[in-house]
Amino acid sequence: KQEVTQIPAALSVPEGENLVLNCSFTDSAIYNLQWFRQDPGKGLTSLLLIQSSQREQTSGRLNASLDKSSGRSTLYIAASQPGDSATYLCAVRPGDSSYKLIFGSGTRLLVRP
Amino acid sequence: EPEVTQTPSHQVTQMGQEVILRCVPISNHLYFYWYRQILGQKVEFLVSFYNNEISEKSEIFDDQFSVERPDGSNFTLKIRSTKLEDSAMYFCASSWDKTSTDTQYFGPGTRLTVL
């Protein structure tokens, strides 16, 4: 059964720092992996999607990498800003015959001015 | 930019009552989903829906739950007889297709409180 884990659970950094959020999954047979942002009491905003055949994806200050064989993904945020403060979730889609996303518990990020 | 919308934003109900949560997916999307997030826990998949039928469901999605696309725009989740443990944030999502490049877009959620 696929399990998704995110470390650390919480992170507090000063503005301007580059930071890395980690996501690991137990079964390497995934179809794709998505990173989401969740603001308190709000919905999920998709940030990046990496297909299983890809190694990384970039969007602005965000870069996500995927190492399927080791069951890991990282989300790199460059030059962090207070507006980046949110919970970041990763989710894997197990296979092409499955529609569901399996989520990690998230990393709560606080960027201090 | 198109977005998924959900109503109501907050629903309070008594245990044993029926509730219907409503979603309007992005207009040209073909796949629809419900997820839930109990306070402090992970987001969990409930059900996916395509071509007017359920394509996949989780163990959580038992007989008290049902989904429907009553017209060309709405997608609903019905909980027949609510329990205290159904209190959660319920998210609707939609996608254009189910290929590996396809993103699921989530709505803002409905917070369901069962008293």
Residue among B31, B42, B99 whose CB faces A103 most closely: B42
Cis amide prior to B8 (ω within 30 degrees): yes
- Say yes or no for a CB contact (<8 Å) between A99 and B41: no
Q: Is the pLDDT of residue B22 over 80?
A: yes
Closest approach of B81 to chain A, Cα-based (Å): 25
Considering only residues A47 and A96, tell me which one the structure prediction assigns the higher pLDDT: A47
Q: What is the pLDDT of residues A13-25, one digit of tens each?
A: 999 999 999 999 9
Dist CA B31 CA A21 (whole Å) = 30
Mean pLDDT of A72-84: 97
Is the minimum CB–CB distance between A66 and chain B shorter than 8 Å?
Answer: no
In this prediction, residue B2 carries a pLDDT of 79
Number of other residues whose CB lies within 10 A of the CB of residue A11? 17
Report whether pLDDT(B100) > 70.
no
Contact B56 A98 (CB under 8 A): yes
